Amino acid sequence: MDGFYRRGDVWWARLAVPARLRQAAGRREFVQSCRTTDKHAGRVVAAALLARWRRQLFELEGGQVDIEKLVGGGPRAPNTAPGWEVGGKALFRGAGCILCKPRWLTQDACL
């Protein structure tokens, strides 16, 4: 995980602030201790810290998520087999999908 490292025995999280946002953020980087010596627990804490910091940076840029673009606003994938959709979005691209890559698998075996 990027931004996850150890100082002595304690795990830390770090995220550099992009140059274009440093003035608005008021800092060059976010750094905080995960307050644990356990690597697995530290990863969980670091993931939460990094997510919070990234969201703050996203909001500083005036970012908003367009749900329509994420869910169903794009064009349909070519060679999409009918009946394999959820909310209008194809789950695979037919015989070329990674789930069907071994050519001996059929569409019925996919998913």
Reported as a single tens digit per residue, the pLDDT across 66-110 is: 666 666 655 555 544 444 555 555 554 454 454 444 444 444 444
Collapsing DSSP to helix, strand or coil, 6 comes out as strand
| Distance (Å, whole) CA 75 – CA 12 | 42
Contact 105, 94 (CB under 8 A): no
Count of residues in the chain: 111
Structure tokens at 75: 């064009």
Q: Give the pLDDT confidence of 20-48 residue by residue, as tens digits.
A: 999 999 999 999 999 999 999 999 999 99
pLDDT at residue 62 in the model: 84
Q: What is the average pLDDT across 61-69? A: 72
Determine the pLDDT at residue 87: 54
pLDDT for the residue 88: 54
On average, the pLDDT of the chain sits at 76
Q: What pLDDT is attached to residue 63? A: 78
pLDDT at 12: 97
Rg (CA), the chain: 21
